[in-house]
Chain A
Amino acid sequence: MSYAKIRLSLVAVTLAYASLAIAGDDPRHVRHELMESVGKAAKPVGNMLKGERDFDAEVLMSSLRTFEDAAGRFGDLFPDDSRTGEDTEAAPAIWEDRAGFEEALARWQTAVADAIAAQPDTLDAARPVAEPVFQACKACHESYRIDDED
């Protein structure tokens, strides 16, 4: 194998890594993955509120920590150049009404922080602090997520 060929393949490998890294850092992907993790964490808690699953304080706290982490990072994941593409469900309103979006995000952060601080150990204690967390999800999605079913 000639040096030229080795150099060429090195360049190719480097380029491949670079594009992978870019894809991995693409805010559209990062926020999508983050939301997927939030959805997965929401389901067991939602089922407790719905009465389809026994209350479990540990599961609840673990989900709340997932929300806390996501809510803390979410605000930085909507740079100007990530408005469209990659099937993003981010609505244009995020950029057109940034203050409203920040407010909706803050509502979620506050609700999560309150729920964590409350350390609920029964379903009756969890309900009044967990429901505002879910309502914050819903309110933000209504204005700032594109919904085209199917």
Chain B
Amino acid sequence: MARIGRIVVAFLVLGLLAAWWITRPQVVAADELPDHDPDPIAGERVFWAGGCASCHASLVDGKRARDGQKLLLGGGLEIDTPYGVFRVPNISSHADDGIGRWSMIDFTNAMQRGVSPSGRHYYPSFPYTSYAKMPTEDVMDLKAYLDTLPAVEGRNAGHALDFPWSLRRGIGAWKRRYLNAAAVIVVDSIDPMIERGRNLVEGAGHCGECHTPRDMFGGLQPARWLAGAPNPEGEGRVPNITPAGDNIAAWSVGDISYYLESGFTPEFDTVGGSMVAVQENMAMLPPADREAIAAYLKSVPARE
């Protein structure tokens, strides 16, 4: 009897060790970074494509930042979700409260592996599963740009999540299933403009995070890529933006680019909801980038 007890305990211990091993944070080593001279000008473009300010800009009187206020990245926004409350951290260049002391490899691991400099998993409310698909050179350029932005004082409280989501280590298992650098839409040969659009939409722009439905574990469903999903922030739905989408089906590449630039649909209705902030960020990109996004959206498989 005692022997069976010991065997059970041994299996339990082995199981826990295996789980610990499977869920360990996995990082890139500094010498694996590409040989690239980080360019802050190129990084500014990544900053707007990624919409970093939409979550990380300090709130102004409780409201979202506008124009120049978007460069003050003190965080503080609270995102109320079924998992609990996520609180957005300070990513300004402040040495103590922000990420001013981070090295290039710290930043890359945060963005593309969802791992903090101290080796802890980030929650995927920070959409690193999308950023993992960015060219690492773009991530490095972004860091160079963020380094030029003002230091903002103040640390925000941590997330307040419900059990079992509060068990951070479990994210390691989730990442095994959902975190990879591979493109979502893979084709044999790709037009350079569509490829640029794919980088922007699937990577920095993280469009799929709202426009693609999630499965029961909260991961995106690649088979329903950009096919529309319930609004994570309230009622209604985030629209289908594949060529089968109700509205977008009739829009030309020019219409989509113009919408991203101006916020007006071909019927001259205005952009609404959380897409307003996204559109205003997209308006900061060079016209060729908006066109690339539009060309990519026209090229993805139509999904009902």
Q: Bound complex: CA of A72 vs CA of B237, how far in Å?
A: 33
Which B residues lie within 8 Å of A46 (CB)?
264, 268
Q: Bound complex: CA of A53 vs CA of B125, how far in Å?
A: 43
Which A residues lie within 8 Å of B246 (CB)?
150
Interface residues of B in 264-288 (CB under 8 A from A): 264, 267-273, 275-276
Contact of B273 among A43, A134, A138, A149 (CB under 8 A): A149
Q: Bound complex: CA of A150 vs CA of B270, how far in Å?
A: 15
Q: Bound complex: CA of A142 vs CA of B269, how far in Å?
A: 12
A141 engages B238 (CB within 8 Å): no
From DSSP, what is the main secondary structure of chain B's interface residues? loop
User: How many A-B Cβ pairs are below 8 Å?
Assistant: 51
> Does A147 reach chain B (CB closer than 8 Å)?
yes
> Does B239 reach chain A (CB closer than 8 Å)?
yes
B267 engages A39 (CB within 8 Å): yes
Which A residues lie within 8 Å of B116 (CB)?
none
Q: Bound complex: CA of A39 vs CA of B238, how far in Å?
A: 22
Q: Bound complex: CA of A39 vs CA of B264, how far in Å?
A: 11
Which B residues lie within 8 Å of A148 (CB)?
231, 234-237, 273
B254 to chain A, nearest CB (A): 8
Q: Which residue of B lies closest to A150 (CB)?
A: B237
Which A residues lie within 8 Å of B262 (CB)?
50, 134
Q: Which residue of A lies closest to B275 (CB)?
A: A147
B69 to chain A, nearest CB (A): 16
With A148-B231, A149-B236 known to touch, is A141 a contact of B272 (CB < 8 Å)? yes
Q: Bound complex: CA of A46 vs CA of B237, how far in Å?
A: 27
Which A residues lie within 8 Å of B237 (CB)?
148-150
> Does B263 reach chain A (CB closer than 8 Å)?
yes
B272 engages A39 (CB within 8 Å): no
Q: Which residue of A lies closest to B271 (CB)?
A: A138
> Does A94 reach chain B (CB closer than 8 Å)?
no
**Bitwise interface map of A from 39 to 74 toward B, beta carbon under 8 Å scored 1, else 0:** 100110111001000000000000000000000000
B236 engages A42 (CB within 8 Å): no
Which B residues lie within 8 Å of A145 (CB)?
272
> Does A137 reach chain B (CB closer than 8 Å)?
yes
Interface residues of A in 97-150 (CB under 8 A from B): 134, 137-138, 141-142, 145, 147-150
Interface residues of B in 232-273 (CB under 8 A from A): 234-240, 246, 258, 262-264, 267-273
B236 engages A142 (CB within 8 Å): no
Q: Which residue of B lies closest to A50 (CB)?
A: B258
With A142-B272, A149-B272 known to touch, is A43 a contact of B267 (CB < 8 Å)? yes
Q: Bound complex: CA of A146 vs CA of B273, how far in Å?
A: 8
A42 engages B272 (CB within 8 Å): no
A137 engages B270 (CB within 8 Å): yes
> Does B213 reach chain A (CB closer than 8 Å)?
no
A42 engages B239 (CB within 8 Å): no
Which A residues lie within 8 Å of B268 (CB)?
39, 42-43, 45-47, 134
Which B residues lie within 8 Å of A45 (CB)?
268
A123 to chain B, nearest CB (A): 15
Q: Bound complex: CA of A43 vs CA of B271, how far in Å?
A: 15
> Does B228 reach chain A (CB closer than 8 Å)?
yes
B239 engages A138 (CB within 8 Å): no
B228 engages A150 (CB within 8 Å): yes
Q: Which residue of B lies closest to A134 (CB)?
A: B264
Q: Bound complex: CA of A149 vs CA of B230, how far in Å?
A: 10
Residues of A at the B interface (CB closer than 8 Å) are 39, 42-43, 45-47, 50, 134, 137-138, 141-142, 145, 147-150
10 A-B pairs closest in CB distance: A148-B236, A147-B272, A46-B268, A147-B273, A42-B268, A138-B270, A150-B237, A149-B239, A141-B270, A43-B268
Given contacts A47-B268, A50-B264, A134-B268, 8 further A-B contacts (CB under 8 A): A42-B268, A50-B258, A147-B236, A149-B236, A149-B238, A149-B273, A150-B239, A150-B246
A-B contact pairs, 19 of them (CB 8 A): A39-B268, A42-B268, A43-B267, A43-B268, A45-B268, A46-B264, A138-B270, A138-B276, A141-B272, A142-B276, A147-B273, A147-B275, A148-B231, A148-B237, A148-B273, A149-B237, A149-B272, A150-B228, A150-B237
